[in-house]
Amino acid sequence: MALLEVEDVVAGYGAGPDILTGLSVTIEEGTSYCIVGPNGAGKSTLLRAIAGFLKPRAGEVRLDGVLMNGSRPDQMLAAGICFVPQDASLFPMMTVRENLAMGGYLVNDRALLRQRMDMVYETFPILAERRGQNAGTLSGGEQQMVTLGRALMIEPRVVMIDEPSLGLAPMIADQIFEKIRGFGALGITVVLVEQNAVKGLENVDWGIVLDLGSKDFEGPADGILADPRIRELYLGKTMSKGMT
Ligand SMILES: Nc1ncnc2c1ncn2[C@@H]1O[C@H](COP(=O)(O)OP(=O)(O)O)[C@@H](O)[C@H]1O
Ligand SMILES: [Mg+2]
């Protein structure tokens, strides 16, 4: 059974039009995914619908085969579905350690909290060095690492990350992607959304192309990257925006 199943989901905002127009996506445990597609395709909306921030108007979101429609974000989080939104903000006047502790607010056991924090510091050694520093004083890349570290604090089954490379210099973005690739070894299933389609696909197993709120195409990421025709057809729109 798939870990997460999104089936024929229709979703939109308030009284507005349908943004997701009958979208189906399957997320298998241990496979990493990148969702790509032009601006406004509904990529962020899909993550919000899965994470419980947006209730589907129709269709189903299932976790381990269990219907989750209508679950609140905190319930999805407790079920191991962690969403790192594009504008995930830190508490700038709080230390790195305190920001990470916020991610572990569901953990009541102090020893376990300590253990998870050590695991985050092992994954992001720079954060161990900066643990006593206010998050607001960190570089953009380091702040993104705190955001990801905070997600790891709940030991999620799935982490969905919206535009992890946004606003970062290419070299820093590469470091972030390298860290995200390592999440698989921690038993975490990764779902990325990336405006930089090629970079995103280079760092995952499977690519899903969205357009106009539904799925255009999906397949092995290396296959998509290697096929010039598919690249032209499905990545052209995103690549023409100055992406490489
Ligand atoms: N909070 C919102 N309220 C109303 N419309 C929204 C909201 N967020 C996104 N939209 C609309 O939904 C569509 C898809 O947006 P989004 O999911 O953010 O696309 P993507 O992440 O693929 O760029 C866009 O037309 C956008 O204007
Ligand atoms: Mg988006």
User: Are both 165 and 67 inside the same structural domain?
Assistant: yes
pTM attached to this predicted model:
0.94
- Rounded to the nearest angstrom, the distance between the alpha carbon of 227 and the centre of ligand 2 is 25
- In sequence order, the β-bridge partners of residue 36 are 209
Same domain, 27 and 138: no
Q: Separation of 12 CA from ligand 1 center, angstroms?
A: 8
> What tokens were used for 125?
């050694």
Indicate which residue's Cα is closest to atom 25 of ligand 1: 40
- Shared domain for 17 and 64, answered yes or no, is yes
Specify whether 164 is located in the same domain as 63.
yes
Q: Where are the beta strands (DSSP E) in the chain?
A: 4-12, 18-27, 33-36, 58-63, 66-67, 81-84, 158-162, 189-193, 206-211, 214-220
Give the pLDDT band (50/70/90) at residue 237: low
Round to whole Å and give the CA distance between 89 and 211: 28
Q: What are phi and psi of 87, to 5 degrees?
A: -100, 30
CA 237 to chain centre: 22
Q: Are residues 121 and 138 in the same domain?
A: yes
Which ligand approaches the C-alpha of residue 166 most closely? 2
**Ligand 1 atom closest to the CA of 213, numbered from 1:** 14
Instruction: Report how far residue 48's alpha carbon sits from residue 149's, in angstroms, rounded to the nearest whole number.
Output: 20
The two structure tokens encoding residue 43 = 């990529």
pLDDT, residue 242, reads 41
- Ligand closest to 19 (CA) is 1
**What is the tens place of the pLDDT at every residue in 64-106?**
999 998 899 999 999 999 999 998 889 999 999 999 999 887 7
> What digits encode the pLDDT tens for the residues 105-136?
777 888 999 999 999 999 999 999 999 999 99
Residue 190 has pLDDT above 50, yes or no: yes
Over pLDDT 70: what percentage of the chain?
96
Pull the structure tokens for residue 70: 């209508």
Residue 85 lies inside a defined structural domain of this protein: no
The domain tally of the chain equals 2
Judge if 135 and 200 occupy the same domain: no
Average pLDDT, the chain: 92
In a domain, residue 127? The reply is: yes
Domain boundary, last residue among 108, 123, 153? 153
How many whole angstroms separate alpha carbon 100 and alpha carbon 213?
34
pLDDT band at 243 (very low <50, low <70, confident <90, very high): very low
Same domain, 58 and 106: no
Other Cβ atoms closer than 10 A to 205: 16
Domain of residue 133: give its range: 91-153
Distance from the CA of 194 to the center of ligand 2, in angstroms? 8
Tell how far the Cα of 190 is from the centroid of ligand 2, in angstroms: 17
Residue 49 lies in a domain: yes
pLDDT of res. 244: 43
Ligand nearest to the CA of 13: 1
As given in the structure block, the two tokens for residue 131 are 């643990």
